[in-house]
Amino acid sequence: MKKFSTAVLCFAFAAASLSLVATSVQAAPARCEFLANAPDSHLVVKGDTLWDISGKFLQHPWCWPQVWDMNRDQIRNPHWIYPGQIVYFDRINGRLRLGKPMGDMSTDRVSPRIRIEGLGQEAIPAIPSNVIEPFLSQPLIIEENELQGTPRIVATQEGHVFLGKNDKAYVRGDLKADTSFQVFRPGLPLKDPETGKIIGYEAAYLGSVKLVQADKSGGNSAHVFTVVTAKEEMGVGDRLLPVPPAPILNYVPHPPEQPVNARIVSIYGGVTHAGQNQIVTINRGGSSGIDIGTVLQLSRSGAVIIDKTEGKKEKIKLPDSDYGTLFVFRVFQNISYALIMQVSDSVQIGDVAKSPE
């Protein structure tokens, strides 16, 4: 994950936006129809998300980029909506527009607009950021042997079998000039529900440590670390990875650019069923065209039954049932993390996650 400051990103996008010709997108497809009881406007308040606001106007909240008066390049970039602004429903043109409050009823041509001041700190997020934040900076999906050769804990503070907050940890390995690390323990393999092959490993995140004293003996001793945070007990053999840069928390929902037919690989926490705002992994990633913001439709295969109603036994398959939406927020090569946005049934391992229809 690359390092970008929010200020630089906002400035770059604002500059790019000024050079773009404001071309409107085509009329929203049928799947992006407005609700029959959609309001005329919505005052943005703190705690809103773009998904929530869109759900007040649209049958499918993820469709909101298609009904803003924005061109394709602008839709793909982060953008900001702030508390106090007003979202208007332009019923004549079938568009949502960001208006100007304080008695000014005119609307912006390009909506939502960019605001550089404040660096976007008060902007509302696309989805509930507090749910996914722990998964943004912790590289939980690793390839086979990825942790080999990384710094490892070789001893704990005297009298301690496991380490907790403020305890000392003794570490060997090349720190590569880093001082802040996250601690992981190799986890169980993740198997593709379709092929049965191992497609990755979900490492257990244990906490974070900070360098107190570096080994100056040339590798014949150990570095001294202090445990900063402890989600779980850590001990000898656990591995260290540098703390990654803070990610940008705004995402634009969009359908995948190529057809996707994925499966639920696991539900975070080791459970077998999940509901809204829980995290799942799917067996598709960057190699399959998945990127951050991809929206997928949850579906369950219809059961195969024996029809005996006509006096004879005939095997038939019942129709598949669509029951919810996934929002991909972190992508690896063959696996992605996704947030369950809304469901009418419980999510189960092996369920289908496909391109929205």
Digit-coded pLDDT (tens) for 18-56: 222 222 333 334 467 899 999 999 998 888 888 888 889
Tell me how many degrees the CA angle 206-125-18 measures, rounded to the nearest 5: 125
In degrees and rounded to multiples of 5, residue 254 shows phi and psi of -160, 150
Of the two residues 129 and 37, the one the predictor is more confident about is: 37
Q: How confident is the model at residue 100 (pLDDT cuts 50, 70, 90)?
A: low
CA distances from 83 to 86, 98, 122 (A): 8, 12, 8
Structure confidence at residue 25 (pLDDT): 32
**Residues in CB range of 89: below 8 A, 6 or more apart:** 34, 38, 39, 40, 41, 57, 96
DSSP notation for 198-241: EEEEEPEEEEEEEEEE---SSSSS-EEEEEEEESS-B-TT-EEE
Q: Which helix (H) or strand (E) holds 297?
A: strand 295-300
Q: Which pLDDT value is given to residue 223?
A: 96
Contact between residue 223 and residue 150 where contact means Cβ atoms under 8 Å apart = no
| pTM of the predicted model as reported, rounded to 2 decimal places | 0.70
Q: What is the pLDDT confidence band of residue 250, given thresholds at 50, 70 and 90?
A: low
Where does residue 294 rank: exposed (0-12), middle (13-18), buried (19+ CB within 10 A)? buried
Predicted local distance difference test score (pLDDT) of residue 142: 84
8 A C-beta contact, residue 340 and residue 323 = no
- Is 73's pLDDT higher than 70? no
**Percent of the chain, pLDDT > 90?**
37
Q: Mean pLDDT of all residues in the chain? A: 79
- Per-residue confidence (pLDDT) for residue 50, from 0 to 100: 82
- Does residue 61 have a cis bond before it (omega within 30 degrees)? no
pLDDT, greater one: 14 or 155: 155
How large is the average pLDDT for residues 77-91?
76
Query: DSSP secondary-structure letter at 299?
Result: E
In DSSP terms, which residues pair with 41 in a beta bridge? 88
- Report CA torsion sign: 184, 188, 189, 193: negative
Residue 135 near residue 330, CB atoms below 8 Å: yes
The string of pLDDT tens digits covering residues 54-70 is: 889 998 888 877 777 55
Of residues 30 and 212, the one with the higher pLDDT is 212
Phi then psi for residue 253, to 5 deg, are -70, 140
Per-residue pLDDT tens for 252-311? 788 898 999 999 999 987 788 999 889 999 999 999 999 988 999 999 888 899 998 888
- Which of 49-53, 70-74, 107-111, 337-341 is predicted least confidently? 107-111
pLDDT at 96: 84
Convert the pLDDT of each residue in 143-187 to its tens digit: 777 888 899 999 998 878 899 999 999 999 999 999 999 999 988
More confident residue, 115 or 39: 39
Domains along the chain?
6-131 (no CATH), 139-242 (no CATH), 261-354 (2.40.10.410)
For residue 136, which phi and psi values (nearest 5 degrees)? -85, -30
CA angle 164, 168, 171 (to 5 degrees): 110
